[in-house]
């Protein structure tokens, strides 16, 4: 749905927002944390539940930890930060300065309440930085719901049902680099139809400005 230029512009914008989140997380944990988004996808309608880049990548490792919050006002929708459970445990250990990483599936499910607290704080920083950036881009102030965090396991049919309930998804593959771990996850932003239209209008205006400058 996005042209290569639109993907480039959106990717650059998101990486700026992610960079701001990384700086905040580095201050919180007392260690250098780097974040980037190497892949940006915008999917709509039936393509969401059928695209293997969504279903295979997100759920390929079994249980996932999902932290989410709803946003409203100038933009409407819900955003998720999702990690395979083993990756989530590794992220918690690294944030707490523990060198022992979670490698087995059974260990990955042994997340404690304190682990969920850490993951919720990480998600709050990342998701608020991204959505705050989009709000600033569109000159609007967003309102957020209370964040939710949960462990999910979805068989194929439930994955498709979950995804088909979303009309427009901006999927951002993320990489977090910490002193003791490299962690991969996904940011999934489900936009209302009007919200995605507003965002695309702004990106299209930016591509036109870029084309005029390049010409």
**Whole-number pLDDT of residue 57:** 63
pTM: 0.85
Task: Look up tokens 């979670």; give the residue.
Answer: 102
- The token pair at 169 is 């998804």
Structural domains of the chain sorted by starting position, each given as residue range(s) with its CATH number in brackets: 4-214 (3.40.1550.10)
Name the token pair of 4. 């290569």
What ranges in the chain are assigned the alpha helix state H?
Answer: 4-29, 46-50, 52-59, 85-95, 105-108, 113-137, 156-164, 193-214
pLDDT tens per residue, range 117-127: 999 999 999 99
What length does the chain have? Answer: 215
Alpha-carbon dihedral angle through residues 98, 33, 81, 49, given to the nearest 10 degrees: -110
The pLDDT of residue 105 is 40
Which is more confident, 154 or 138?
A: 138
Other C-beta atoms within 10 Å of 98: how many? 12
34-81 pLDDT, tens digit each: 998 888 888 876 666 666 666 566 666 578 888 999 999 889 999 999
Q: What is the pLDDT of residues 175-207, one digit of tens each?
A: 999 887 888 888 989 898 889 889 989 988 888
Could you report the per-residue pLDDT of 86-119, keeping only the tens digit for each?
888 888 888 887 755 444 444 445 788 899 999 9
Find out whether 78 and 70 touch, Cβ atoms under 8 Å.
yes
- What tokens appear for 46 in the block? 């039936």
Six-digit token string for 62? 């079994």
pLDDT-based confidence at residue 30 (cuts at 50, 70, 90): confident
Report helix, strand or coil for 210: helix
**What is the CB-side half-sphere exposure of residue 157 using CA atoms within 13 A?**
0
Task: Name the pLDDT band for 168 (thresholds 50, 70, 90).
Answer: confident
Q: What average pLDDT does this structure show over 141-160?
A: 77
Residue 215 has what DSSP assignment? -
CB 131 within 8 A of CB 31: no
Higher pLDDT, 13 or 109: 13
């Amino acid at each position: 749905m996005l042209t290569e230029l639109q993907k480039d512009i959106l990717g650059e914008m998101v990486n700026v927002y992610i960079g701001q989140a990384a700086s905040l997380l580095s201050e919180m944990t007392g260690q250098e944390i780097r974040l980037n988004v190497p892949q940006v996808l915008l999917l709509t309608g039936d393509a969401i539940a059928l695209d293997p880049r969504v279903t295979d990548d997100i759920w390929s490792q079994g249980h996932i930890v999902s932290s989410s919050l709803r946003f409203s006002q100038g933009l409407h929708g819900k955003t998720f930060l999702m990690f395979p459970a083993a990756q989530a445990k590794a992220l918690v250990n690294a944030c707490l300065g523990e060198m022992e990483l979670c490698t087995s599936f059974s260990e990955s499910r042994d997340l404690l309440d304190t682990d969920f607290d850490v993951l919720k704080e990480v998600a709050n920083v990342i998701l608020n930085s991204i959505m705050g950036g989009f709000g600033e881009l569109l000159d609007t102030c967003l309102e957020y719901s209370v964040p939710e965090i949960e462990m999910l396991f979805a068989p194929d049919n439930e994955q498709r049902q979950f995804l088909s309930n979303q009309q427009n998804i901006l999927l951002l593959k993320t990489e977090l680099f910490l002193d003791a771990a490299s962690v991969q996850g996904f940011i999934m932003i489900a936009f209302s139809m009007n919200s995605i239209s507003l965002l695309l209008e702004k990106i299209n205006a930016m591509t036109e400005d870029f084309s005029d400058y390049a010409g």
